[in-house]
Amino acid sequence: MKSTFLHFLTLCTAALAITSHAKPSQQKSLVSVDIMVKQDKVRGHNDAIYGPIPKEDQLLDIEFLEIAPTPIIADRVFFVYLRGYIPESKKELGLLHESLVNATLTVSSSVVYSGGDSEDAKSVTVPFKTMTFNDYAHLIIRDAHGAQVDYLPRSGRSDVLLDFQIPTMFLKSGTWTFNVDARLGDKGNTCVFAISLSQWLDGALKG
């Protein structure tokens, strides 16, 4: 039986988007620190790397990305805190308010199970804005003053916060890879940021 987590991800429209019930010690990162450095690790306490869009082609300069707990543990709420700013060298793009209002966030996930079988990447795209998805998923954007705003600011520092939970009842154990890709709603489909995270997650689904 295939994992229904991908279906759950679609139902939740999660953003800023893994045998038996998991024990905290069983969740683990699959990428060593040395490998992450070579693959351009995102600054902060996390196991994420830049990609698939190269770091230099991304609009937002990420100051740090905090993911707690790291690695993520199924059936427990985890928190994501991303802080960044748009460098002066990239403001020449002439960001329009409409582009930020129409920005999108795409979360894709794929998995390789312990037996070797896999599921190809599936994705869901949502507006990149402050919003509540459900009781267990909220996305909040803040400006440089810490005030909550609807959309990513055109200038100054920005904070993006997410809380989310991955229920083991929708999950089959395996190595899960998540790609998160934020885009402006402009003609060039400008990449705001793109990061990737791979780790093992234990789920309750069998077969």
> What are the pLDDT digits (tens) for 94-131?
567 788 899 999 999 999 998 889 998 889 999 999 99
Check residue 42 and report its DSSP letter.
P
Range of 3-7, 14-18, 67-71 with top mean pLDDT:
67-71
Return the HEC string of 125-172: EEECCCEEEECCEEEEEECCCCCEECCCCCCCEEEEEEEECCCHHHCE
State the CB neighbour count (10 A cutoff) for residue 79: 13
> pTM for this structure?
0.82
- Cis status of the peptide bond prior to 71, with omega within 30 of 0: yes
Any residues with CB less than 8 A from the CB of 10 and at least 6 apart, and which?
Answer: 122, 124
User: According to the model, what pLDDT value does residue 18 have?
Assistant: 33
Q: Tell me what the mean pLDDT of segment 136-141 comes to.
A: 94
- Quote the pLDDT of residue 85: 94
With residue 106 as reference, give the H or E element that holds it: strand 104-113
Show the domains of the chain with their CATH numbers.
Answer: 5-201 (2.60.40.770)
130/128 Cα distance (integer angstroms): 7
pLDDT in tens, 19-63: 223 333 345 554 444 444 457 999 999 999 999 999 999 999 999
Q: Are 172 and 112 in contact (CB under 8 A)?
A: no
pLDDT in tens, 149-204: 999 998 889 999 999 999 999 899 999 999 999 999 888 899 999 999 999 999 99
Radius of gyration of the chain (CA): 17
* 144 HSE (CA, 13 A, CB side): 7
- For residue 51, the model assigns a pLDDT of 92
